[in-house]
Amino acid sequence: MPAAAPPSPAAAAGVAAELEARQISAWFGDHKVLDRVSLTMPAGRVTALIGPSGCGKSTFLRILNRMHELIPSAALAGEVLLAGDDVYAPERRLTDARKQIGMVFQKPNPFPAMSVYDNVTAGLKLTGVRMGKGEKDELVRYCLTKAGLWNEVKDRLRQPGGALSGGQQQRLCIARSLAVRPRVLLMDEPCSALDPTSTRRVEETIGELAGEVTVVIVTHNMQQAARVSDRCAFFLAEQGTPGGIVEHGDTDAMFHDPRDQRTADYVNGRFG
């Protein structure tokens, strides 16, 4: 079996879609955490959300695939459009939104007792996708290859996912997300719990996905944002006000020629 899988019919390239947030405001109870945030995240590109803790980045990320509404006290206003279609439209099924807009969390969360193989295919049953064994084998190989993990686990596919290292577990979670062919992949500080070598491999995986999936990543690591993203959005909540976007645009411009002095101060480590 070759080390690299060719594009699979089940996980073909070209599904990336533009994601657009329009005038998003969010609350937890009476506490407003985001105020009229608008941002376009281009198809097939990597957009990094940066800013100090507590400015609403992770809340904004969770709103993009309808995880915010799982919190009993949470409320929101505004629109999220995936390829022009409203993710929150009444006729839109929640499972459909989650299938098209996947999520990778800060802490790796594979199903620990489930095999590596079954971890990758776990989402198929949840989303009602049926495949024969040959198709599943091809899908597992493809997703693990795209996640930069195939060569490390190809002889351990039937071993528990929980037996992998932390960095391998995170890449397994990326492979699991890719198996249902998302158009967007959200990543909430995916490297914060990882060592430098594992971080580099996850960053390489993000580079591998570029063009095939739209990636939106929250990161506190400015060097990482500069390395992996095409575009950046700088979030800030000042003096008790709700979070908002100070500036967004091309990553190189944001880091080397920002329009707002607060952006320059943050990316150069003068606060936050």
Is residue 1 a part of any domain in this protein? Answer: no
Is residue 220 a part of any domain in this protein? Answer: yes
Is residue 3 a part of any domain in this protein? Answer: no
Is residue 127 a part of any domain in this protein? Answer: yes
Is residue 29 a part of any domain in this protein? Answer: yes
Quote the pLDDT of residue 125. Answer: 77
**CB count, 10 Å around CB of 53?**
9
Is residue 216 a part of any domain in this protein? Answer: yes
The closest of 271, 230, 237 to 253, measured between CA atoms, is 230
Range of the domain at 247: 9-55+62-267
Tokens of 194: 């990882």
Q: Per residue of the chain (272 residues), what is the pLDDT tens digit? A: 334 444 444 444 448 999 999 999 999 999 999 999 999 999 999 999 999 999 999 999 999 999 898 888 999 999 999 999 999 999 888 888 888 999 999 999 999 999 999 999 998 877 777 888 999 999 999 999 999 999 999 999 999 999 999 999 999 999 999 998 999 999 999 999 899 999 999 999 999 898 899 999 999 999 999 999 999 999 999 888 999 999 999 999 999 999 999 999 999 888 76
CATH of the domain at 115: 3.40.50.300
Beta bridge partners of 239: none
Report the number of distinct structural domains present in the chain.
Answer: 1
Is residue 272 a part of any domain in this protein? Answer: no
Quote the pLDDT of residue 272. Answer: 62
**CB count, 10 Å around CB of 93?**
9
Is residue 2 a part of any domain in this protein? Answer: no
